[in-house]
Structure 1
Amino acid sequence: MKQPFGVILAGGQATRMGGGDKGLLDLGESTILGHVIDRLAPQVARVALNANGDPARFGQLGLPVLPDSIEGHPGPLAGVLAGLDWAAGQGADTIVTVAADTPFFPCDLVPRLLLAADGMAQPLAMAATPRGEGEQTKSMSRTGLIRHPTFGLWPVSLRDDLRAALEGGLRKVVLWTDPHGGKLAEFPVAGGDPFFNVNTPDDLAKARALVKGV
């Protein structure tokens, strides 16, 4: 299998942070997006950013900026579709997506996703972590794992199927991945949640403390 292309999903509206681009917020000597790019780039062949609005605000990153092709901010699947269409034009077979507000995701994300999808004709896999004691989430799988839908491996060959599903009103990631036999790649949580994301000002303060090592 060819090395996947990477797509950073930054199409959300960041309402809990007061709007704007969370990824451009300072985090240590870089930005949240800077940390995301540094973790993703060594694992993939190329990197692009899925974002809506004026792409010039990301000009300093030097990345292709891919807007949603489905109107109305339909969620992360629209960003996945934008990434799949871009990758198809570059001759890629698969993409791996990550969230733009999750600066500490695993450095072995891509190898684990590829391993989980090994043998699939249309490789499709999603990151997952064990459920903590007493923890409840809407993203729970039947096996008790917490799914992280924005961290996944997606086949370019299914992009037209995904487009049709989105145009038909589908929004929830697992309602599309489960019928296609999507697999789960389990990641350990020892030492903290590897998919901790910055949703609120308190989360940003925590991320800054983690970068400082305090």
Structure 2
Amino acid sequence: MIDIQNVSKTFTLHNQGSAVIRVMEGATLSVAKGECVALTGSSGAGKSTLMRMLYGNYLAASGRIMVGDLDVARAAPREIIQLRREVLGYVSQFLRVVPRVPTLDVVAEPLRAVGMEAAAARDRAAALLAQLNIPETLWSLSPTTFSGGEQQRVNIARGFANPYPALLLDEPTASLDAANREVVLSLIEEAKSRGAAIVGIFHDETARARVCDREIDVSDFSPRRAA
């Protein structure tokens, strides 16, 4: 479902004489349906960079990034938008939404984007918000007013609302209490059981051991190591 072959990434520092920094070379990994792969490595190894290339936020310098039938490394913007709508979900650490939109609609939006009827989308959103212990009294408010932990749980609900064939998870259990951590791990296990291919960053070693099938040390793709 996800296949990365010989991917490299550079950054150009335009404010420093257009110096080119090589941050990744030869990144190669595959993730099958129903499999969860953890990206590991020290801070700065390139875990987030690889995730952002998978999602199309960063452009790979070379190589191939297949998500389903689309090569993200060469896709047009409209193809990336469609991929994110229908195929590839992303649960980041930070919630970015339009202000003043009610929480219920924030979570339901990915379902509405693929054509689900409004009532059914809101029902699914309500079930997830309740599962993640967001009080119903907050559902009509904008999540921009919530605490950091509440925003994270809203972000998780939004990311799991649509049954995406592939998921990217960036620290999905960070800063969660034990009860909500268990809910998130159960959601990941449910996604795997329906066949979702998952790539994640998990600093929580216990969570990683429970839901991840393999670990890939991104440091192996560092140009410094190759040198």
Query: TM-score, length-normalised on structure 2?
Result: 0.27
* Structure having the larger proportion of residues in strand: 2
Structure having the larger proportion of residues in helix: 2
Q: Give the number of the structure with larger relative contact order, counting CA–CA contacts within 8 Å between residues 6 or more apart.
A: 2
